[in-house]
Amino acid sequence: MSPSGYTITVRLRATPEVHASGALVSAVSGTGAVITGLDVVDPGHDSVTIDLTCTTGSPDNGDAVKAALEAIAGCTVDQVSDATFLIHLGGKLEIASKVPLRNRSDLARAYTPGVARICMAIYENPESARNLTIKRNSVAVVTDGTAVLGLGDIGPEAAMPVMEGKAALFKRFADVDAWPIALDTKDVDEIVRTVELIAPGFGGINLEDIAAPRCFEVERRLREKLKIPVFHDDQHGTAVVVLAALYNATRLVGKEIADLRIVMTGAGAAGAAVAHLLLNAGATDIVLFDSKGAIYEGRPNLDADRTVLSTRTNPRLHSGSLPEAMVGADVFIGLSQPNMITADDISAMADQPIVFALANPDPEINPVEAAKVAAVVATGRSDYPNQINNVLAFPGIFRGLLDAGAYRITDDLLMSAARAIADAVTDEALSAAYIVPSVFDATVAPAVAAAVMASCERDAG
């Protein structure tokens, strides 16, 4: 995690002599922390109250900072606040009214008796709910808490901060109103039925952090049942951004996707979706590894989803090790776990190797080491270049789907979204350190939304 994730503010009291001596700065710097603020809250004559803010690099360093300050004669630490915890206090979301309620007339239109006319209009024409309620701009972010970030099965309540964050990103980047729905069940039937029951209040469903293979069935069944878009971001959002990054990486090194030899680790939700989309984008040679080794047609004990993958990947039926598969490969894509490959493995790849080490928070290889031998390196982290971040995809995809009033999510739609993301990086800006746009590039979400709407029009035609 980036050091900015461990920012603390220490409320302390010190004698004026200690404050003036520089002892506070010296003590904190001695722990390896970096002071970013030193604010006097109450000057006082005998005691100065100070808020000292610093980045610590790790939670343990925060304890070291406190101990170093308490060791100074004339200094007392009153409180240590973690900035990351502070922004989560009370949650990150709120409900706000779009209409004023200033007087009795406003109330009569927004609520009773006027609202009854709106209810009856929807009753007589259910399709009008899209225009007359929040449905036209609302998305449910649904999880069972079984595959949260790099944390795994931590349960629905512990997953809520991530779901709130997702909803905040929807609003920030595409002005979509999203709400976290954490379900206390791992049963596919219960998940599907619950989402089906709440669907009338939403214009779209974003499935999030549901473990494979359960997530595949949940998505498939909901898409069959609902007439609103159902999108599993861990699968398709990841696939879209990986494809966008690969479009630009190949543009940079002068290769074509159809000619690439691709090695992938991780055959879960994200890995399967990435492989599927790359194949539909023209890739012809993908060797995919799961925890038991290379997936190939005829391998014993493959589940249904991996059996399908085995028929579309690994054309040479490679059954050897990962390092052996890396020899002569053009691209490595990791969606698995830390320390899967080495610099020697990359050196054995073809000229101008491309490495996407996307395990979070610790990638399949240290990005600094990878960059010494690879032409292009991408990660899932924000503190290295080329972050493969789903926020480049899902806000614009849902914006386009909601605006189009569409719900079918096709491969054409996903590839169009990927191309829109890739095209946000101009020829002048394209470099080994910039193959995907910044998540704060304001042009990305509108471009993705426009591409999605155009795809929906083609699909409808």
Domain that holds residue 257: 232-461
| Same domain as 243, residue 197 | no
Sign of CA dihedral 125, 127, 130, 131: negative
What confidence score (pLDDT) does residue 21 get? Answer: 86
| Same domain as 253, residue 195 | no
What confidence score (pLDDT) does residue 5 get? Answer: 60
Residue 119, φ and ψ in degrees, nearest 5: -60, -45
What confidence score (pLDDT) does residue 46 get? Answer: 87
Give me the catalytic one of 111, 171, 225, 372. Answer: 111
Beta bridge partners of 207: 142, 232
460 within a domain of the structure (yes/no): yes
Write out pLDDT tens, residues 54-74: 998 787 788 999 999 999 999
List the CATH number of the domain containing 241. Answer: 3.40.50.720
List the CATH number of the domain containing 134. Answer: 3.40.50.10380
| Same domain as 368, residue 303 | yes
Q: Give one DSSP letter per residue of 99-129, joined into a string.
A: S---SHHHHHHHSTTTHHHHHHHHHH-GGGH
Known catalytic residue: 372? no
283 within a domain of the structure (yes/no): yes
| Same domain as 220, residue 163 | yes
> C-alpha distances in angstroms, 354 versus 58, 286, 290, 340, 426?
31, 14, 20, 15, 19
Residue after which a domain boundary falls, among 228, 261, 292: 228
Write out pLDDT tens, residues 369-416: 999 999 999 999 888 999 999 999 999 999 999 999 999 999 999 999
Residue tagged 């610590």 (tokens):
56
What's the whole-model pTM score? 0.89
| Same domain as 265, residue 162 | no
Known catalytic residue: 166? yes
| Same domain as 377, residue 280 | yes
63 within a domain of the structure (yes/no): yes
Residue after which a domain boundary falls, among 197, 213, 228: 228
93 within a domain of the structure (yes/no): no
| Same domain as 448, residue 405 | yes
CA distance 223 to 212: 17
| Same domain as 448, residue 406 | yes
How many structural domains are present in the chain?
3
102 within a domain of the structure (yes/no): no
> C-alpha distances in angstroms, 84 versus 36, 170, 327?
15, 20, 43
| Same domain as 244, residue 196 | no
Give me the catalytic one of 66, 135, 166, 255. Answer: 166
Q: 135 CB contacts (<8 Å, ≥6 apart)?
A: 129, 200, 201, 202, 203
95 within a domain of the structure (yes/no): no
| Same domain as 394, residue 281 | yes
Residue after which a domain boundary falls, among 204, 228, 252: 228
| Same domain as 427, residue 281 | yes
14 within a domain of the structure (yes/no): yes
Q: What stretches in the chain show pLDDT beneath 50?
A: 1-3
98 within a domain of the structure (yes/no): no
List the CATH number of the domain containing 82. Answer: 3.30.70.260
| Same domain as 391, residue 261 | yes
Helices (H), 203-294: 214-225, 238-253, 269-280
What confidence score (pLDDT) does residue 313 get? Answer: 96
